[in-house]
Amino acid sequence: MIEAVGLTKRFGQRTAVDDVSFTVRPGLVTGFLGPNGAGKSTTMRLITGLDRASAGTVTVNGKPYAEHRAPLREVGVLLDAKAVHTGRSARNHLLALAATHGIGRKRVDAVIGMAGLESVARQRVGNFSLGMGQRLGIAAALLGDPATLILDEPVNGLDPEGVIWVRNLVRHIASQGKTVFLSSHLMSEMALTADHIIVLGRGRIIADAPVSDILAQAKGAGAVRVRTPDIARLTGLLGEPGVVVTNEENVLEVSGITAAHIGELAAHAGIVLHELTPIASSLEDAYLALTQDDVEYRSTDEGSAA
């Protein structure tokens, strides 16, 4: 369980996280979405106390992270895959972290096995690929068998097998009643992995809802594909404000109006339709629709985009 209230982080003039409040609940995989520079990583660093909040509070399992007697057992965190000394072997890195909490070698070898790093565990991390570094970071996050798992871009750099591994892993951990909070810029991945999504844009929460709600909300904004022998007349009928019609090789793509409405208009005018298909919107569309709503914000901040 992660609870943030009025969380704010300013770096000089720039406000990276702006009065953000949210709750990440146990038993679910909560996705954290947002464009680069939206403040996702900063928020995760605030949760684990690596950055000090300028205002507001954030607790993990009821207490600030630093107040826990066994922080690694409360929260496992992958902040970025580079939080490892390149001169040390993967196993020694994990042994050193485990030692702080008196976690034994057996657990270290177990997480090495879970992450599929057995063959490279004694190699220096400096020689690791991005994907292997990512696996090591996830192994480190799992060391304390934590009640809450925070993963910043866990599938970044992973091969397809690794992506599936992470997906199954976080679903399994959430099914044990634990809290999972992971950020990603891959919306398609989120659609498959997350139950709940928090969308962050320019340091503020744009959406905080179950994945199904966000997808449903986006349906209305989705486009409709229309085929008709009478393109000119239909296009004329659809000339309402807010309706956009694009014609590509005699297939119309209409947005800003529902398929039902198009069908009614055509029927009234006696126009034959050969196809009338709502284009299923992806989470990507939903996400873009959400962030596009944030127009005011965008235009004012365009110049200082990070």
Partner 1 sequence: MSAIVASSPGHLSRLSFGGILRSEWIKLRSLRSTAWCYAIVIAVTIGLGALYSLNTQGQGLTADDIRGLAVGSSTLGVNFAQLVIAVLGALMITGEYGTGMIRSTLAAVPKRVPALIAKCLVFGVATFVVSAIALAGTAVASWLVLSNNGIHADFFDGRVLLPLLGAAGYLALIGVLSLALGAIIRSSAGGIAVALGLILVAPLILRILASVTRAVWPVNVSAFLPNSAGGLLWAYTSGPTAPAQSGYIVLTTLQGGLILGAWVIVAFVIAAILLKRRDA
Binding site for partner 1 (CB under 8 A): 45, 48-52, 65-66, 68-73, 77, 79-80, 82-89, 92-93, 95-104, 106-107, 110, 113-114, 140, 142-145, 168-169, 172-173, 176
User: Minimal distance in Å, beta carbon 40 to partner 1?
Assistant: 16
* Between 48 and 217, CB nearer to partner 1: 48
* Between 91 and 202, CB nearer to partner 1: 91
* Between 86 and 277, CB nearer to partner 1: 86
User: Minimal distance in Å, beta carbon 9 to partner 1?
Assistant: 9
- Separation of alpha carbons 148 and 29, rounded Å: 11
Please choose, from the candidates 181, 178, 127, the residue with its C-alpha nearest in 3D space to the C-alpha of residue 153: 181
* Between 139 and 223, CB nearer to partner 1: 139
Axis crossing angle, helix 105-114 with helix 90-100, rounded to the nearest 10:
130
User: Minimal distance in Å, beta carbon 99 to partner 1?
Assistant: 4
Q: Which residue has the tokens 């934590």?
A: 146
* Between 106 and 274, CB nearer to partner 1: 106
* Between 20 and 150, CB nearer to partner 1: 150
* Between 91 and 196, CB nearer to partner 1: 91
Residue 45 carries which side chain, given as an amino acid letter?
R
Instruction: Please answer whether residues 214 and 63 qualify as being in contact, where contact means their C-beta atoms are separated by less than 8 angstroms.
Output: no
User: Minimal distance in Å, beta carbon 80 to partner 1?
Assistant: 7
User: Minimal distance in Å, beta carbon 59 to partner 1?
Assistant: 13
User: Minimal distance in Å, beta carbon 95 to partner 1?
Assistant: 5
On the 0-12 / 13-18 / 19+ scale of CB atoms within 10 A, 231 is middle
- Those residues whose C-beta lies under 8 Å from the C-beta of residue 88, and which sit 6 or more positions away, are 96, 124, 125
How far is CA 201 from each of CA 54, 244, 303, rounded to the nearest angstrom? 19, 26, 16
- Separation of alpha carbons 142 and 122, rounded Å: 19
User: Minimal distance in Å, beta carbon 91 to partner 1?
Assistant: 9
